[in-house]
Amino acid sequence: MMRPDDSITVLQGVGPKKAEAYARLGVKTIKDLLMLMPRDHQDRRTAKKIRELVPGQTALVRGIVVKSNLAYIRSRRGQMMHVTISDDSDLMDIVFFNARFLKDKFPQGKEIYFYGRVGMNRGRLQLLHPEFSYGVQGLLPVYPLTAGIGQNEIRKNIKSAIACADQLEGCLPEDMVSENALPSLAEAIRLIHFPGEPEDITRAKERLIFEDLFVLQTGLLMMKITKNRGTKKTASHEEFISGLSYELTGAQKRAVSDIAADMASEEQMNRLLQGDVGSGKTIVAESAMFRAVRSGQQAAFMAPTDILAKQHFANLKKDLGRYGITVGCLSGSMKQSEKNEELERLRTGKTDVIVGTHALLQEGVEFSDLGLVVCDEQHRFGVSQRMTLNEKGESPDILIMTATPIPRTLAVILYGDMDVSVIDELPPGRKKIITKAVTEKKRDDVYRALEQVVENGGQAYVVCPLIEDSDAVEARSAEGVYEELSKKFPHLTVRLLHGEMKKEEKDEVMASFSEGRTDILVSTVVIEVGIDVPNASVMIIENCERFGLAQMHQLRGRVGRGSRQSYCMLVLGSKSDIAVERAKVMTESDDGFYIAERDLDLRGPGEVFGTRQHGLADSHITGLISHLDIMETVREKAVMILKKDPELDDPENLALREAVEALYGEDMTMNM
């Protein structure tokens, strides 16, 4: 007998080639196949009258074959099957090319169902290459496809595997199933693949969503509950805060005290610090590092790129250095001998705070006593990364900072395992950035404005979607724009920055811009996160239709950091509805949360949050957002279960534990 864990190759007609194609859909076993969710269902229950058909619509037609004829066509070097059918309303043509294999399929007088897109040919309605069957088909599931595997094949394979559904065990507790009148998992799987009526699909989905959310929440809660013991860091950060030249905002103060409380406790801190661009997260992190060092431990600060690491290094050295704290840096562009010296200082505890990229997590980087890790511009920190860290110190506290505003609805789902502090207030005195969207025609105006700002001592970013010109993509490239601007403004210093340049070159360009020696920086999105050059007051985004809302918001956040009035100019290369709509959102709002919500509306959550990396299917997340009430229900249940059985060791919870491990991986990594 077939078992759910069997490879799909046990199915007839599924050999190694097909298995490879299935693997691309994430299907390896019979169970995976049964859990492959249709992305849609086609309603093939009722046929339309031929007379009522409209060209362009997709429809099911039932007709009796009046005549059929296989003809040789010279121009196409093949044979054409031409069938005329009739229902009691009208006649219609059905056409197939290269159709010798259909020779005997349409005998006169036979009733046949055709499904396809209605077209017109010489004034007559026709269906070209429709699907056909000899009986009515009901609600037909439509599966996601990949090269090498067809819709009908998947349907056929699922039909052969469906008997196995009874062996699949759901992990929802019985009382939850009965309280919510849900079908069993086996029943839900049968209904989703072979529904009789639309209500069946709804019922099936409800069970599957409950199932998904329950597993998701249980996993998140497990991560949250299983807190490691760390060390208490009880030194005060007051000296640092009172030494600042400005007053912290209320939101910053709250974040600082959240973090201080976490650090003073024995449990390992796992906190996300969320704050819009420019909200002042760095100083909050610095106060935490100060506390760690004053408590006798070391701190590590990880930046997403080398450029940012350098920038933070300079700031930290300035801000923490005056309290006698030693700040070091490890960078990819350093000489090996320099690196070795720094590694040695770190290992012996001479360096208190180390700045670098994620390379800090690598082997060979040893600490004397690591107490805190700050991770800048990161959404999430997988459990495997946390484990690596825990080995580098005694479960050091972890502070993750992100400027990606996550709509609250999603935050519950994505950060269920973390504590969250939000900085929802900008430092006082910031001038609003003036944002304008223009078309190509207004380019001269844009350049005039640019020149004026720069001549008054300001600096500008020009961001392009491409590095170099491309035949395949119609968009402006950083190299092209760089040449154009260099020619147009020979009296100004224009520099180019993109991801394919050598590290040293990038660093040099960036340094020249932050020190004010470069007027206009033409770049790709490498400057997206974190760069802080307060004197820069113009951001021009070329072909802004190629950037997502969240990304544009990030880019815009690079200006408006100093005392100058700042401008953001979006140059539209296309006037598609969505491009215009996005530009409009940008000109109307500077609220990162609002923009993120709109981004979600316009693009769908999968794209926004890169759910591929997240390990959750797009459809799942979409489902999640519209089912927050279910989320509450399952969360309560999950809390109850974990209270009794925190590690899910109880045999009764075996299925749940397996499902959690399947979703998060055995080490419970859930990376974004």
Q: Is the Cβ of residue 218 or residue 274 nearer to ligand ADP in the bound state?
A: 274
Q: Is the Cβ of residue 84 or residue 282 nearer to ligand ADP in the bound state?
A: 282
Residue 280 binding partner per list ligand ADP, Mg ion, none, with a CB distance cut-off of 5 to 8 Å that depends on partner kind = ligand ADP
Compute the least distance from the CB of residue 415 to ligand ADP, in Å. Answer: 18
- Residue 146's nearest CA partner among 298, 17, 323, 315 is 17
DSSP structure string for 494-536: EEEE-TTS-HHHHHHHHHHHHTT--SEEEE-GGG-SS---TTE
CB 58 within 8 A of CB 117: yes
Applying CB under 5 A, which residues contact Mg ion?
530
CB 357 within 8 A of CB 333: no
Give the pair of three-digit tokens for residue 144.
């996601």
Compute the least distance from the CB of residue 379 to Mg ion, in Å. Answer: 14
Compute the least distance from the CB of residue 285 to Mg ion, in Å. Answer: 9
Residue 566 binding partner per list ligand ADP, Mg ion, none, with a CB distance cut-off of 5 to 8 Å that depends on partner kind = none
Residue 138 binding partner per list ligand ADP, Mg ion, none, with a CB distance cut-off of 5 to 8 Å that depends on partner kind = none
Compute the least distance from the CB of residue 312 to Mg ion, in Å. Answer: 8
- Residue 300's nearest CA partner among 199, 408, 375 is 375
Please, what is the end-to-end C-alpha distance for the chain in angstroms? 39
Q: Is the Cβ of residue 378 or residue 653 nearer to ligand ADP in the bound state?
A: 378
DSSP structure string for 279-325: S-HHHHHHHHHHHHHHTT-EEEEE-SSHHHHHHHHHHHHHHHHTTT-
The Cα 629–Cα 35 span in angstroms is 24
Q: Is the Cβ of residue 8 or residue 285 nearer to Mg ion in the bound state?
A: 285
Compute the least distance from the CB of residue 142 to ligand ADP, in Å. Answer: 44
Give me the long-range contacts of 82-91 (CB less than 8 A, separation at least 24).
Answer: 85/50, 85/61, 85/112, 85/114, 86/50, 87/47, 87/49, 87/50, 87/61, 87/62, 87/63, 88/49, 89/49, 89/50, 89/51, 89/52, 90/49, 90/50, 90/51, 90/125, 91/50, 91/66
Q: Is the Cβ of residue 552 or residue 583 nearer to ligand ADP in the bound state?
A: 552
Q: Is the Cβ of residue 377 or residue 451 nearer to ligand ADP in the bound state?
A: 377
The Cα 169–Cα 167 span in angstroms is 6
Q: Is the Cβ of residue 170 or residue 530 nearer to Mg ion in the bound state?
A: 530
In a 3-state reduction of DSSP, which class is residue 448? helix
Q: Is the Cβ of residue 562 or residue 606 nearer to Mg ion in the bound state?
A: 562
Phi, psi of 424 (to 5 degrees): -110, 35
Compute the least distance from the CB of residue 27 to ligand ADP, in Å. Answer: 43
β-pair partners for 372 = 299, 397
β-pair partners for 142 = 40
Q: Is the Cβ of residue 32 or residue 376 nearer to ligand ADP in the bound state?
A: 376
Compute the least distance from the CB of residue 333 to Mg ion, in Å. Answer: 21
Q: b/e for 246-267, b at 16 or more Cβ within 10 A?
A: eebbebbebbbebbbebbebee
DSSP structure string for 363-378: TT---SSEEEEEE-S-
Strand 91-97 relative to strand 78-86, pairing = antiparallel
Compute the least distance from the CB of residue 241 to ligand ADP, in Å. Answer: 10
The Cα 419–Cα 402 span in angstroms is 13
Kindly give, in sequence order, each residue whose CB lies less than 8 Å from that of residue 274, ignoring residues fewer than 6 positions away.
Answer: 401, 402, 403, 404, 405, 406, 411, 420, 421, 422, 423
Q: Is the Cβ of residue 241 or residue 401 nearer to Mg ion in the bound state?
A: 401
Compute the least distance from the CB of residue 450 to ligand ADP, in Å. Answer: 23
Residue 560 binding partner per list ligand ADP, Mg ion, none, with a CB distance cut-off of 5 to 8 Å that depends on partner kind = none
Residue 279 binding partner per list ligand ADP, Mg ion, none, with a CB distance cut-off of 5 to 8 Å that depends on partner kind = ligand ADP
Residue 249 binding partner per list ligand ADP, Mg ion, none, with a CB distance cut-off of 5 to 8 Å that depends on partner kind = ligand ADP
Residue 140 binding partner per list Mg ion, ligand ADP, none, with a CB distance cut-off of 5 to 8 Å that depends on partner kind = none
Residue 248 binding partner per list Mg ion, ligand ADP, none, with a CB distance cut-off of 5 to 8 Å that depends on partner kind = ligand ADP
The Cα 464–Cα 468 span in angstroms is 10
Q: Is the Cβ of residue 249 or residue 395 nearer to ligand ADP in the bound state?
A: 249
CA distance to 122, 242, 266, 284, 373, per residue, from 352 (Å): 82, 21, 21, 17, 12
Residue 278 binding partner per list Mg ion, ligand ADP, none, with a CB distance cut-off of 5 to 8 Å that depends on partner kind = ligand ADP
Q: Is the Cβ of residue 426 or residue 617 nearer to ligand ADP in the bound state?
A: 426
Applying CB under 6 A, which residues contact ligand ADP?
246, 248-249, 252, 275, 277-283, 403, 427, 532, 534, 561
Residue number, nearest CB to ligand ADP: 280
Compute the least distance from the CB of residue 401 to ligand ADP, in Å. Answer: 7
Residue 465 binding partner per list Mg ion, ligand ADP, none, with a CB distance cut-off of 5 to 8 Å that depends on partner kind = none
Residue 252 binding partner per list Mg ion, ligand ADP, none, with a CB distance cut-off of 5 to 8 Å that depends on partner kind = ligand ADP
Q: Residue 663, Cβ neighbours under 10 Å: how many?
A: 17
In a 3-state reduction of DSSP, which class is residue 124? strand
Compute the least distance from the CB of residue 302 to ligand ADP, in Å. Answer: 14
Compute the least distance from the CB of residue 562 to ligand ADP, in Å. Answer: 8
Give the pair of three-digit tokens for residue 556.
């815009």
Residue 277 binding partner per list ligand ADP, Mg ion, none, with a CB distance cut-off of 5 to 8 Å that depends on partner kind = ligand ADP
Q: Is the Cβ of residue 21 or residue 398 nearer to Mg ion in the bound state?
A: 398
The Cα 62–Cα 65 span in angstroms is 10
In a 3-state reduction of DSSP, which class is residue 226? coil
The Cα 330–Cα 344 span in angstroms is 12
Q: Is the Cβ of residue 262 or residue 528 nearer to Mg ion in the bound state?
A: 528
Q: Is the Cβ of residue 127 or residue 406 nearer to ligand ADP in the bound state?
A: 406
Q: Is the Cβ of residue 407 or residue 530 nearer to Mg ion in the bound state?
A: 530
230: left (phi over 0), alpha (psi -120 to 50) or beta: beta
Compute the least distance from the CB of residue 235 to ligand ADP, in Å. Answer: 22
Compute the least distance from the CB of residue 245 to Mg ion, in Å. Answer: 18
Kindly give, in sequence order, each residue whose CB lies less than 8 Å from that of residue 609, ignoring residues fewer than 6 positions away.
Answer: 410, 414, 621, 672
Compute the least distance from the CB of residue 376 to ligand ADP, in Å. Answer: 7
The Cα 620–Cα 632 span in angstroms is 16
Compute the least distance from the CB of residue 401 to Mg ion, in Å. Answer: 7
Kindly give, in sequence order, each residue whose CB lies less than 8 Å from that of residue 340, ignoring residues fewer than 6 positions away.
Answer: none
